[in-house]
Amino acid sequence: METDETDRVLPFQLQFDKPVASQVKIAEWNPEKDLLAMVTEDSKILLHRFNWQRLWTISPGRNITSLCWRPDGKAIAVGLEDGTISLHDVENGKLLRSLKSHIVAVVCLNWEEEGQLIRGDPKNSSSYEDRTSRFFPPAPRVPRMPGVVSGDTGFMDDSEDSYRELSNSSYQRFNILCSGDKDGSICFSIFGIFPIGKINIHKFSVPTPFIDKQTPRQILNSSIYKVSLSKDLCRLIVMCSGELNENTESRESQMVRQGMHSLVLDTSIFWKRKSELHQLAQQASNIEDLTEVIRASLSVMCKQWSDAMHTFHEKFDSLSTLIIDHALDSTPQEEFLSLLGGARTSSAVHQFLVNSLGEVGVKRVLKVICGTAKELQRIVLDHLQPAAEIIGFRMGELRGLSRWRARYHGIGLDEILINNATEKSGMILVQIERFMRVLSSVEQQFSNFFNWLLKCIKLLMQEPSDQLLPYNSELVVIFLKFLYDQDPVKQLLEVDHDIEVDLETMQRVKELVQFGGFSDCEYLQRTLAKEFQQMEDSFKEAFLMPFTTISRKMLCEDLLPLFPLPSSSSSSSASVSMAIPMSISYYEDASQAVSSHQTCQHSFVDYVCFQVPDEPFSDIANCIGVIRGFTHDLSSSKNGYTSLEAVLLCVPAGYECVDLSLYKDSQIVLLLNGASASSESSGDACMMIVQASELPFISISRFTNLNLWNLYQLKDSTVQLQMENEKVRNIPHSVIAPLAVSASRGVACVFAARKRALVYILEEDEEEVPDTE
């Protein structure tokens, strides 16, 4: 028996059997490399090579609910319980980007790329080159200064190229990251970094193209379980649980059925407008990156200048105390002006300069303030100003695109909003120039004031002062009147401060407006921080329009009720659906000819595979459902027939399905446990491969009332799986989900209940691939 099995299961060679420290709840193979990402029960992400060498471990600090790889395998997307999606670098696990796309747990992720390179498509007349690198050096990064933590901004703070590669999508294939949450929302992001759409299943009016009576239907209290975007980006299959509600005026005919449903959404806008969306995402995502650089720079500058001013006031506030102690009726400014004018030096000023402050104190404060001023200038020149200049250039690119209404109006690129955002990006450069002038003037006046104080201390102590730097008495007077107890630098770095501008200057600005180029007459009354806030708001408004436009163009095309679920509470039904193994995949369909360049390419056929729960059906038990051609069905119906096919597979007696996965060449990998196995026992499990394309599929009639669950049509034609007729490998353990299968590498990883990981080779002629990066 053992010998026969060994001869028969060569495709299932056991590569190794390794212990795991903690039980694994999610596992995904890298699509391009021999790497396996695993999420443990305590929400740690482990990355292992094929030889089980661990590369890195990270812990986001929050519960991980989903995970998927970018199609090129260079980044990994992680869905968290709080609705955040974080992107991590495959090389070291560092955080690349963090997006708050949802408000509840992200339960599924799917990252799909279009088949052809945008730049390499000769038929694409709008092939796009990001010209920014021709005119500008590499974009600045967030300044690494005290008080800024990379995790707070959602960006990594080191100088590695992976961050820049994430933002530079010029040479990437056009790809979309889809994410679904437990409240029925699905979000779409181009390159995983630029949000381009959001829909909610609850708000869809679900059509029923195969029912004679056209009654709108909705799915209430839905929870997304799995989403899968087709390889041509034209269709999205959604598996969700919820209550199918028929919105009829008659209460008697209203139907509410809690169950699992499959939806097809029309996402052809991604394929039809992929070039335009690629260009928009390229510019907008880089603008958002640079906006973050400006925000962080302003934050660092504000903190550093506040610390420097705190040092100044900490030293000089003691003069006010001495004046009060000596019963003098004057201010520190008046005392210093009296000293400057050559009058008698008061005892309070003498004690302050000689004893409290001293020459060492003056030099220390001078060093802090002037050093901080130079550091702020460096931040402006190295980070703030280059970021603002590149933003202005990129907004100019978008402004040009927005004027091509025939191509870009359809994706929501509004010319008026882009023009407003472009003007705001120009105004931020004006504010930066003003800030630099004010900062330089303040630094000069502080330096002049301290030089004068050093001169005074030397004279009071009757020491020679020939070696000291000269000072300007007029600047000292200006400093004491306008800078001693005021802070124009800090004012420019605050949002809630208005700058007073005289009427003559305002009139000159209004005259300049007549020459064109800008229309904002009140920019001089705003601070640098306020200008940045308005610029950021204008960007959000301009980029919200494409987000809203694309969201509205994604419609529900078809609904397929699969099987009922217990009609208790929505939360319990969601938990039931999460325990149901499901898999969706698309395979090349030789019978479908590729359509013209102007329409979507339906050269793929979809397969949906799922376990059928035993509870709803008394006469359908321990079965696997397989559906084929769901996305083709709608187009076929227009020709008077249905291409939707399905089959029920009955699991061999004595086994139950733990997990399943669609594999390459229309194959299904089933992970089965012995019915009597438990976590305490060694268990009797097996892994089976079924060739789905050879199964006796039955065409499902759609011209029926939706009261009937579609699986009922298959109960009399169930296919009994036989162990001796399929490729099977016995596993000497009790196994648990997940089952991680790599179609590109031909391997599968199985996890045992006793905290072990077993990796199997699924291909007979699979040659061991070198473990390279």
Is there a single domain that holds both residue 322 and residue 354? yes
pLDDT at 590: 60
Residue 563 tokens read as 């099987």
Q: What is the pLDDT of residue 128?
A: 61
Same domain, 527 and 673: no
> Does 418 reside within a domain?
yes
Q: Do residues 309 and 149 touch, judged by C-beta distance below 8 A?
A: no
**Tens digit of pLDDT for each residue in 188-235?**
999 999 999 999 998 887 766 555 455 667 888 889 999 999 998 999
Q: Which has more confidence, 565 or 598?
A: 565
- How buried is 245 (Cβ within 10 angstroms: 0-12 exposed, 13-18 middle, 19+ buried)? middle
Mean pLDDT, rounded, for 741-749: 91
Per-residue pLDDT for 682 more than 60? Answer: yes
Is 197 part of a structural domain of the chain?
no
136 vs 186: which has the higher pLDDT: 186
Residue 697 falls inside a structural domain: yes
Residue 98, domain member (yes or no): no
Whether 384 and 448 map to the same domain: the answer is yes
Residue 132: its pLDDT value, please? Answer: 83
Contact indicator for 102, 86 with CB cutoff of 8 Å: no
Cβ count within 10 A of residue 522:
10
Same structural domain, 483 and 599: no
Average pLDDT, the chain: 84
Does 448 score more than 90 pLDDT? yes
654: DSSP letter: T
Average pLDDT of 567-595?
64
pLDDT tops 50 at residue 769 = no
Domain assignment present for residue 503? The answer is: yes
Check residue 120 and give its pLDDT: 44
Query: Is residue 404 in some structural domain?
Result: yes
**Residue 518 or residue 392, greater confidence:** 392
Between 676 and 583, where is the model more confident?
583
What is the tens place of the pLDDT at every residue in 535-568?
999 999 999 999 999 999 999 988 888 888 876 5
State the chain's maximal CA–CA distance in angstroms. Answer: 113
The pLDDT-based confidence of 146 (bands split at 50, 70, 90) is low
Q: How confident is the model at residue 725 (pLDDT cuts 50, 70, 90)?
A: confident
Summarised one tens digit per residue, pLDDT across range 692-724 is 989 999 887 765 444 456 677 777 788 999 888
DSSP 672-735: EEETT--SSS---EEEEEEEGGGS--EEPP-SS-TTS-GGGGGGGGPEEP-GGGSEEEEESS-E
Return the pLDDT at 592. 54
Report the C-alpha gap between 34 and 54 in whole angstroms: 12
Grade residue 270 by pLDDT with cuts at 50, 70 and 90: very high
The CA distance from 749 to 28, in Å, is 9
Pair (384, 303) in one structural domain: yes
Residue 175 CA from chain centroid, whole number = 13
Question: For the chain, what is the domain count?
Answer: 2
Q: Does residue 599 sit in the same domain as residue 672?
A: yes
Using pLDDT thresholds of 50, 70 and 90, give the confidence band for residue 150. Answer: very low
The mean pLDDT value for 393-417 works out to 94
> Per the domain annotation, does 180 fall within a domain?
no
Question: Has residue 1 got a pLDDT over 80?
Answer: no
Q: Which residue would you say has higher pLDDT here, 307 or 706?
A: 307
Q: State mean pLDDT over 332-345.
A: 87
Instruction: Specify whether 415 is located in the same domain as 466.
Output: yes
Judge if 382 and 445 occupy the same domain: yes
Higher pLDDT, 185 or 499: 185
SS (H, E, C) 296-312: HHHHHHHHHHHHHHHHH
Higher pLDDT, 665 or 227: 227
Q: Is residue 469 part of a domain?
A: yes
Mean pLDDT value of segment 519-531: 86
What is the spatial distance between Cα 750 and Cα 687, in angstroms, rounded to a whole number? 9
Looking at the fold, whether 536 and 680 belong to one and the same domain comes out as: no
Residue 99 · residue 109 · CB < 8 Å: no
126: confidence class by pLDDT, cuts 50, 70, 90:
very low
The reply to whether 578 and 477 lie within a common domain is no
Q: What is the pLDDT of residue 651?
A: 93
Least confident of 87-91, 184-188, 209-213: 209-213
pLDDT digits (tens, 9 = 90+) for 351-366: 999 999 999 999 999 9
CB 42 within 8 A of CB 22: yes
Confidence of residue 575 (pLDDT cuts 50, 70, 90): very low
> In terms of pLDDT, which residue wins out, 145 or 521?
521
Model confidence at 276: pLDDT above 90: yes
Of residues 595 and 749, more confidence is placed in 749
What radius of gyration, in Å, describes the C-alpha atoms of the chain? Answer: 34
332 confidence band (pLDDT: 50, 70, 90) = very high
More confident site: 198 or 5: 198
**Contact by Cβ (8 Å): 24, 757:** yes
Torsion sign across C-alpha atoms 489, 491, 494, 498: negative
- Within this chain, do residues 581 and 730 fall inside the same structural domain, yes or no? yes
What is the reported pTM? 0.86
Angstrom CA distances, 166 to 133, 161, 599, stand at 16, 9, 30
The residue segments making up the domain with residue 608 are 1-20+573-773
Which one-letter DSSP state was computed for residue 525? G
Whether 580 and 541 share a structural domain: no
Stretch among 54-68, 82-96, 213-227, 313-327 having the lowest mean pLDDT:
213-227
**Continuous segment of H or E residues that includes residue 180:** strand 173-181
Residue finishing a domain among 504, 520, 551: 551
